Structure 1
Amino acid sequence: MADHYEVLGVSREATPEEIKKAYRRLARQLHPDVNPSADAAEQFKLVTHAYEVLSDQEKRQRYDLGGDEGVFGGAAGFGGFSDIFETFFGGGAGGGRAGRPRSRRERGQDALVRVTLELGDVVFGTHRDLEVDTAVLCETCNGSCCQPGTGPERCDICGGAGFLQRQVRSLLGNVVTQQPCGACQGYGTTIPHPCPTCHGQGRVRSRRTVSVDIPAGVESGLRLQLPGSGEVGPAGGPNGDLYIEVQVEPHPVFSRDGDDLVATLEVAMTDAILGTTTTIEALDGPVDLELRPGVQSGEVLTVRERGITGLRTSRRGDLRVAVHVVTPTRLDGRQRALVEELARRTKAPRPRLAEFQQGLFSKLRDRFRHG
């Protein structure tokens, strides 16, 4: 039994690249079109089988440990010279091949960019120019992967098929196995002169600007999809998609309930008693509010269509303002006397538990939830 390393003329410590080069050199010398002798055909089989074992890391390890990867089945194990000729150099009496080479052009990966918005940006939507670090088409080779003026060449190991076949004998008879060609990685072609800019990838890393209109009504965690704006694929393949993940920063005054904006209005006790008008600054401009005399804590003032524009509708939500009556904690003598006089005149009842009121409970619940 011939030693695979001796057949290829390499040492047992040879690297995969050295093994590949040795096989390519011997295959050219023993190619049936170059050397039609019977000895060359037999030697070609030995060289091919040795390369199949040593180019596969797992098989090579088993062979080095004395495993059965070193058993060579002879001409019958490979189905005869015509099968060898067809498998590695095309043509022959065996008919066509199964499968086809891989394409170097593949779809690019999707990309994800996170953008932070203020709550005010969500009311009507906003525009952003985003810097994206991603793969773009190589301008030197325009995705061909080759140095300008050169092109891919058909692999002379698999004859452009992109795969290698062999037949092995088993208890069930002859079994045909197929694996990608190690010389061309299944592409059927090699690139002798890779592009110096992209190193044969057809794409390079670069920063580019992507303009995106973010619609109104988006929420934190929502992802917007921009088809075809992601990474360009290997060898100039189609772009993947770009996803924009939105994060809305909390606002110190307003919070969100669906498409409604919610805020809390602190009202002095005297204004609550007498009633007043005030102007607040909403996210899209000033809003006038009128407080009736005797307004109570927990009451909600609703301003129609001053909330957020819906994501899937042009209608705006409402602005809901919960009233919080502020009771003074420090009074001077004059102020305390006036309050005591008010208490005597109004003859207010002593504090007591009130009957349950569904409407009041809901207002208070919303007040503490959104306040």
Structure 2
Amino acid sequence: MKEDYYEVLGVSKNASTAEIKKAYRKKALQYHPDKNPGDANAEAMFKKSAEAYEVLSNPDKKARYDQFGHAAFEGGNGFGGGGMNMDDIFSQFGDIFGGAFGGGGGFGGFGGFGGGQRRVKGSNLRIRVKLTLEEVANGVEKKVKVRRKVQASGVTYKTCGTCNGRGQVTKVQNTILGRMQTAATCSSCGGSGQILDQRPNDADAQGLKVQEETVSINIPAGVEEGMQLKVPSKGNEAPGNGVPGDLLVAIETQDHPALKREGDNLHYDLYISVPEAVLGTSKEIDAVGGKVRIKLEAGIQSGKILRLRGKGITSLNGYGSGDLLVHVNVWTPKELNKEQKTFFERMMGQENFEPRPEKSDKSFFEKVKDMFS
């Protein structure tokens, strides 16, 4: 089980952005690979700290983590946050150390973390996927067509003469820890260690071409509007021996004509006539799994809320499903014919038609309180 991100950095859930940044800076210095050569525990803590900071320093990711925990980044290839590689980690250092460690550089040559040549990552692609309420409730696999850059057939590369294939140039700087060697990305090859040698006619200046590809996206049940999924390695490819970028999928949801979502619960407004309320009846209503029939007892009151357990949205964190709340509304006719009007005039003052709320009948405010509890 993953450790709590707040515990990893040693901060409280109410910590400010500055406190989170300061805590990560301290952890990064403490567990940096060059200060702990060959220490597997230090390496693990270095990565954990970076992953925790990557989530907690982002207001949107932090909000999802506070609500769903690690489950917010699981399923459907995750929502971003887990599985950071060392290039992702060291890319944070320009922000944390004010550029003292270079753009993607670090101490010495990153110790045992692949010093020298960096694998350049291709750019990410972003798309939007619109889901129905049924797809949100049950999860779905979507196949989408994506136009992404891939390495063209026949392209060849040669070793960069500026960095001799390392992808980085080194220099010595005075830092807060003393005199240290730092590395900066080679400006000639962009960090790949290679430059274009031969290029076919259909390739761009980096040896890439645009190609349409069908990508399968597994979307877990319980996602919400605005969430973002990550499909690894389905973004644009990088030149040479780089790694592909990711495909970022923004979730949009369609409104349902009858059902309204609130968290994992669904709400349905059911309108019935006065005779149906007096005599009782059964009604067929919409639910995410299809139609369901419910029974209304005789004398049911307007404002009554019927709870159908487990008929709501499957929880994203795997803790069961929400409920379907049916709000009963007794519809009062605005116009009556002579016979109907005479009937109700005779009923006025009759004992059975006098309001007699029972102690078990909850007030409007009590119903609202129960609904949100």
Corresponding position of 1:53: none
Corresponding position of 1:324: 329
Corresponding position of 1:81: none
* 2:124 is the counterpart of 1:110: yes
* 2:278 is the counterpart of 1:264: no
- 3-state SS, counterpart of residue 234 of structure 1: coil
What do you get for the CA RMSD once the two structures are aligned? 4.0
- 3-state SS, counterpart of residue 240 of structure 2: helix
CA contact (8 A) 2:194 2:240 kept: no
Corresponding position of 2:363: 360
CA contact (8 A) 2:347 2:353 kept: no
Task: Work out the CA distance in 2 between the residues paired with 1:183 and 1:309.
Answer: 51
Corresponding position of 1:284: 289
Corresponding position of 1:230: 235
CA contact (8 A) 1:308 1:318 kept: yes
Change (3 A) 1:115 1:276: same
- The structural deviation recorded for 1:194 is 3.3
Q: Which ranges of structure 2 fall in alignment gaps of 5 or more residues?
A: 1-107, 110-114, 171-182
Corresponding position of 1:201: 206
* 2:323 is the counterpart of 1:307: no
One-letter identity of the residue aligned with 1:110: N
Task: Work out the CA distance in 1 between the residues paired with 2:306 and 2:191.
Answer: 70
Task: Work out the CA distance in 2 between the residues paired with 1:208 and 1:129.
Answer: 10
* 2:225 is the counterpart of 1:220: yes
Corresponding position of 2:72: none
- The structural deviation recorded for 1:304 is 1.5
User: What aligned pairs does 1:84-233 form with structure 2 within 5 A after superposition?
Assistant: 106-141=120-155, 146=156, 152=158, 155=161, 191=196, 193-233=198-238
* 2:259 is the counterpart of 1:254: yes
In the comparison of the two structures, how many residue pairs are matched? 252
CA contact (8 A) 2:119 2:192 kept: no
- 3-state SS, counterpart of residue 289 of structure 1: strand
Corresponding position of 2:300: 295
One-letter identity of the residue aligned with 2:214: T
CA contact (8 A) 2:116 2:168 kept: no
Corresponding position of 1:13: none
- The structural deviation recorded for 1:366 is 8.1
Q: Deviations over 1:85-120 (max 9, x none)?
A: xxxxxxxxxxxxx99x99695111222211001111
- The structural deviation recorded for 1:139 is 2.5
CA contact (8 A) 2:160 2:188 kept: no
TM-score (norm 1): 0.57
One-letter identity of the residue aligned with 2:139: G
User: What aligned pairs does 1:35-114 form with structure 2 within 5 A after superposition?
Assistant: 106-114=120-128
User: What aligned pairs does 1:16-35 form with structure 2 within 5 A after superposition?
Assistant: none
- 3-state SS, counterpart of residue 152 of structure 1: strand
- The structural deviation recorded for 1:364 is 5.9
Corresponding position of 1:69: none
Task: Work out the CA distance in 2 between the residues paired with 1:304 and 1:262.
Answer: 12
Give the structure with higher Rg (CA).
1
CA contact (8 A) 2:117 2:166 kept: no
Identify which range, 123-132 or 191-200, moves more after superposition.
191-200
Task: Work out the CA distance in 2 between the residues paired with 1:127 and 1:348.
Answer: 55
Task: Work out the CA distance in 1 between the residues paired with 2:217 and 2:226.
Answer: 17
Task: Work out the CA distance in 2 between the residues paired with 1:128 and 1:232.
Answer: 22
Corresponding position of 2:52: none
Q: Which ranges of structure 1 fall in alignment gaps of 5 or more residues?
A: 1-97, 166-177
